[in-house]
Chain A
Amino acid sequence: MHGWLRNTHLLSGLFFLLFLLVYGWSSVQMVHRSWFNLQPSISETRVTVQSAVEDGRAVARQLMDQHGVRGDLNQVQQTPTGLRLRIGRPGTSYDIEYSAETGEAKIRKTVANFKAMLNRIHTVSGLWHDYSLINVWGVLVGLASLGMFVMGLTGIYLWFKIHSERTIGTILLILSLGYSLTLMVWMRLA
């Protein structure tokens, strides 16, 4: 039992090592924005697709099939001249102005730098995306979250089995739970 739980703690920690590191580091970047340069690179291109299309999904499909645009279709908006679309995946987003009259699509492509990409990964979630690779991220977010519980519970067990650490560990645990649970309950009731 002890060996099995020790291995579970180690193996889950190592499997999710990069995920935990990215969540931790991107949190630092998000909280302390002024410490980091998170400016993306932006480029613009113009392409021609079929004209007089009124359905945003149809325009998006043509851009994906013929012009290498990849990601979820996140926004479709009618404009006086055609459509405005937003397509994105964690590291790249496309803002598209489509003219129904000429069939021209102006594509503004924003690519996150490495650090900004870490922030985007932090916020990727869910299993409902059209772009299936984002769903894979979503599955891994769920597994990493379960991993947090597994590592926490096995960690508690492993600590408790070290008899010489029980006193100081109990004091730290009581301090930590007392502080956090008091705040959590207090803020909930406020």
Chain B
Amino acid sequence: MTSLIKKLHMYTGLLNFSILFVYGASGLLLTAQPAPGNRPRPKPETRFVDFQVPAGLTDKQVADRVWETLQLPLTAPPQPQGIRRDPSNNLRFGFFTPSNAHQIVVLEKENRLRVETVRNDIWRYLFALHGTALGHPSTDWRIQAWAWYNEFAIWSLIGMVASGVYLWLASRPGFRWAQVSLAAGLGIFALLFLLTR
């Protein structure tokens, strides 16, 4: 039994080696980044695309047409809750991928779109990947393939925690430092949990 669990623990770890690094990098980014108001704002790259709004469409239908026109890779049609009007009554929405954030303004009177693209740096890219999970609106197969890998990794993480505890208890439960380490981790977590609830 122990031998089987050990194999499962090891094989699961090997299958998830890279995504565990993605999770680790995401946590480090969040720890190191400054307060929201002090974060550097990357300058967007702006371009204009000709676009005539067809008559008789709702805002959502217009946004869908824009998505079809721009054909931005890895994106999905915008969600209704993400579509809004700005103070100039222009339609605004965004398309988001792990690599890029595209903000669209439909300049209806000018018959064109303003497309502002911000490219994530590598850390933000890894952070976005860590949150790309099942339920992501994009139908692109690469996004879906990553989302399934992420799903596998989430369950694997839980499984590795459980199998790791089993392997410890099966091999050297009396190891004092291990007991201290577990008690310290549980104690700190429980205390903070209660204090910040």
Interface residues, chain A, CB within 8 Å of chain B? 7, 10-25, 27-28, 30-32, 89-92, 111-112, 117, 121, 125-128, 133-134, 136-142, 144-149, 151-152, 155-156, 158-159, 162, 165, 168-169, 172-173, 175-177, 179-181, 183-184, 186-188, 190
Contact = CB atoms under 8 A, between A and B. Distances in A.
Contacts of B26: 145
B101 interface: no
Interface residues of B, number: 66
A187 B17 contact: no
Interface string B180-197: 011011101110110111
Nearest to B185: A15
A92 B44 CA distance: 36
Contacts of A149: 21, 24
Contacts of A14: 164-165, 168, 178, 181-182, 185
B193 A117 contact: yes
A142 B28 CA distance: 5
A187 B18 contact: no
B20 interface: yes
B142 interface: yes
Contacts of B97: 187, 190
B192 A140 contact: yes
A125 B185 CA distance: 18
Contacts of A148: 20-21, 23-24, 27
Contact of A16 (B33, B175, B185): B185
Contacts of B35: 126, 128
Interface of B: 7, 10-11, 13-21, 23-28, 30-35, 38, 73-74, 97-99, 125, 129, 133-135, 142-143, 145-146, 149, 151, 154-155, 157-158, 160-161, 164-165, 168, 175, 177-178, 181-182, 184-186, 188-190, 192-193, 195-197
A43 B21 CA distance: 41
Given A14-B168, A187-B98, A190-B142, A155 B13 contact: yes
A82 B74 CA distance: 45
Scoring A18, A133, A136 by chain B CB atoms within 10 A of each residue's CB, the highest score goes to A18
State the main secondary structure of chain B at its contact with A: helix
Nearest to A179: B149
Contacts of B129: 184, 187
Contact of B27 (A7, A91, A145): A145
Contacts of B25: 145
Given A183-B149, A187-B142, A11 B28 contact: no
Contact of B164 (A13, A126, A146, A165): A13
Nearest to B194: A91
Nearest to A178: B18
A141 B23 CA distance: 11
A162 to B, nearest CB: 8
19 contacts: A7-B177, A17-B182, A24-B154, A25-B158, A117-B197, A125-B27, A125-B30, A127-B31, A136-B192, A141-B27, A142-B32, A145-B24, A147-B24, A151-B20, A159-B14, A168-B11, A177-B17, A184-B18, A188-B99
A138 B192 CA distance: 11
